Structure 1
Amino acid sequence: MDDQLYHQLREHVDQYSVGFNASESQVEIEFLKVLFTEEEARMYLHLRRHLQPAHIIAEKAGMELAEAERILTGMLKKGLTFPKIKEDARYYSVAPFMHGLLEHACLLMADNPEFKEVAKKLQKYLAREYKPKGRLVRTIPVEGQVSPDLPVAPYYDVVKIIQGKDKIAVTPCACEAKTRIIDKPCDQTKEMCISFGFYAELYAETLKIGRYISQEEAIAIIKQAEEEGLVHQLAGDKRSVEGICNCCRECCGILKSFKFFPKPALMATSDYVVQLNKEECISCGTCVERCPMDAFTEGGDVISVDPGRCIGCGLCTTTCPTEALSLEIQPEEKRAAPFQPEKYDFIRSTLDFEADLAKYAED
């Protein structure tokens, strides 16, 4: 294989979303070689973050439309692009490393022996060598666990978010799929990732790795996630939430990276922090087991909490037998506003994809 081509491909992927940095191990190049043939790699170099019609991509690649369509269709089936079909016309944009190539590979290539070997190496890359360029997701409290007298922005209300969506899909958790591929299976419910709009259509119709669900089914999944101790994390900017990840501490790369730091609260994006009422606490230790960030410690008959390790998920509050734990809103100077569109690129908004199509409709 042409090593120079794949290094060029890595640089192109690195431009989008939170990036795809080079490493000493060069496992990122191995990953790309498993995913892309050389002709697919060359085609990807002509794709951008915004949607482009197939005929424009063909012109850039210097080939006939039929030949370009053949390659692009193959890439579509492998999850290497974000495609859109409208009125029999096909449009394509890049699938970034995250969210995109990595998740799609875990769900579509689980039986590929080459990918299985690379996936094992990717674990180390993601934990120690990967350097995301921007913020990925926002942690939100479990439903109903914020004190009634505290403000809860609509952005934080997971049920209201779901009730505002008309196209919803659920897919298996890509992180769980990855751990299964490397022979470290997780016992969480597999269908836990909820997507909306463009992404719901992509997974339910195009890639066929998910299925459409109703608002009621989505809310039931959220409640099941809370029972299993999974952390709700939102993907999307202030205009629109594009997905809800329900994340396991053992599988989720983001949570595992947070836990690696001495103060995960500085890494997570949440406006809430847990408060412990010591008079009500019976030191049962339930919170110690429940917390995904090890924010609680047990010493003798006393439970203590480290606010620097709290990411505001609220999971500890739902199982405290004496209701000694509650979520409180952070001081205003510590709150983080919802992601601004111009500063957030992890998940491109459905609104932006729609704007791409509208632009070509005008031309």
Structure 2
Amino acid sequence: MGDEIYTRLREHIDSMPAGYPATDSGAEIKMLKKFYTPLQAQIALSIGPMPETAQAIAARLDMDEKEAVTQIQTMASQGSLFRITTPDGALFRHPNFIMGLYEWHVHAVDKEVAELADDIYEGLFEHHWKNRKTKQLRVVPVGTSVSGKDTVKSYDMIRDLVKGPGKGPYAVAPCICRVEQIKKGNEVTRPLETCLTFGLVAQYYIENGIGKPLTQDQLMEKIDECEAANLVPFSTNSKEIVNMCMCDKDSCQLFRNLGKFPKPAQEVHAAFHAAIDADACIGCKKCSKKCQIDAIVQTDIPAAKKRFVQRVDTDRCIGCGLCVGTCPQNAITMVENAVFPDVPDNAIEMSVRMAKERMAIAAASKEMA
């Protein structure tokens, strides 16, 4: 079959809401070859985003049913298909590349995969993130930065978002971006196990050995650990959580690409931005050292001890709130953005919105051609 089967698979995955664009280097095809045998690639082409039994999928394949079912189960155990375990048996569906099958291959990442990921992420940001109304992730402020605010929605309060009835089980896995850095031979100073998942996805992580289970108390401790490590919470872009990335500019692909935009604040979903009281600021720069997106800059206004007042560049601030707790003068507060993000109710609604927006863009491009 050569590369043809992988080209077709690339197109199939690109048809999913989050996309999987072609790159000039061919990195996306090389990545698929690392994760799928030719037979598995052929099987994947027959599997869509709606959950089905292995037998229903096998009926569409020109192969022995028992062999097909075995292959489907193997692909799910390897991270190439999503498996939903129900009392009546397992259901399978094809996932997005990000967030999905790539993260589910975290334990298969080697130096080659880590290097291929750079080009793939750049393609995803250019074609499926930049200027898109609905994105897969949104910023959730760290808890200490918005506590006590009456206007904060429950889905913008990190602990309210992740705990409670129906949110579990919980699981934590290695951050794939920090794994990439390690495989490239780079030093990683922040915690490795920070990828948080919830509900059915957490169940999949636990069943596949991708991550380990957490109790609710352990989840709270993990969130505290991430805030202490200066990590930015990026949650599923919905009111019901599925996953949460804990990101930093030293390791993460998200920040590597966000930092290229002149106005990163316009490229994320966030309900708040930080503001510094110039009269209270003593110019210690503790806040700027905390900022992961270089949104805090020095003014020419004198402060104490030959220092200068700091200010927030609202074009860059993504509203994570990490700077708030570090200020010794309590000079930083979180301010509501003029326009609150329109957050989908759940991941299904988010995916539908993303798919519709892609269809509209494709139709507009076709008309212009």
TM-score of the pair, normalised by structure 1: 0.88
Residue among 109, 116, 122 paired with 2:117: 122
Write the mapping of 1:94-243 to structure 2, written as runs, cut at 5 A.
94-105=94-105, 107-110=106-109, 115-127=110-122, 130=125, 131-132=127-128, 134-146=134-146, 148-164=148-164, 165-205=167-207, 207-238=208-239, 240-243=240-243
Tell me which residue corresponds to 2:279. Answer: 279
1:62-87 deviations in Å (ceiling 9; x for gaps): 22321112211221222000012334
Cα distance 1:337–1:191, how it changes in 2: closer, same or farther (>3 A)? same
Cα distance 1:168–1:147, how it changes in 2: closer, same or farther (>3 A)? closer
Tell me which residue corresponds to 1:360. Answer: none
Cα distance 1:82–1:162, how it changes in 2: closer, same or farther (>3 A)? same
Q: Secondary structure at the match of 1:237?
A: coil
Write the mapping of 1:192-341 to structure 2, written as runs, cut at 5 A.
192-205=194-207, 207-238=208-239, 240-298=240-298, 301-331=308-338, 334-339=339-344
Q: Which whole-Å CA distance do the structure 2 matches of 1:312 and 1:81 have between them?
A: 34
Q: Which whole-Å CA distance do the structure 1 matches of 2:223 and 2:97 have between them?
A: 26
Cα distance 1:256–1:89, how it changes in 2: closer, same or farther (>3 A)? same
Q: Secondary structure at the match of 1:339?
A: coil
Cα distance 1:218–1:346, how it changes in 2: closer, same or farther (>3 A)? farther
Which stretch has the larger CA shift, 85-94 or 209-218?
85-94
Q: Secondary structure at the match of 1:220?
A: helix
Q: Which whole-Å CA distance do the structure 1 matches of 2:335 and 2:272 have between them?
A: 6
Q: Do the aligned partners of 2:28 and 2:116 also contact (CA within 8 Å) in 1? A: no
Q: Return structure 1 stretches of 4+ with deviation > 6 angstroms.
A: none
* 5+ residue gaps, structure 2: 300-306, 355-369
Tell me which residue corresponds to 1:48. Answer: 48
**Percent of aligned positions that are identical:** 28
Tell me which residue corresponds to 1:10. Answer: 10
Q: Which whole-Å CA distance do the structure 2 matches of 1:79 and 1:220 have between them?
A: 28
Q: Which amino acid aligns with 1:202?
A: Y
Q: Secondary structure at the match of 1:344?
A: helix
Q: Which whole-Å CA distance do the structure 2 matches of 1:170 and 1:347 have between them?
A: 28
Q: Secondary structure at the match of 1:279?
A: coil
* 5+ residue gaps, structure 1: 349-363
Q: Do the aligned partners of 2:27 and 2:119 also contact (CA within 8 Å) in 1? A: no
Displacement of 1:256 in angstroms is: 2.1
Tell me which residue corresponds to 1:353. Answer: none
Q: Do the aligned partners of 1:270 and 1:336 also contact (CA within 8 Å) in 2? A: yes
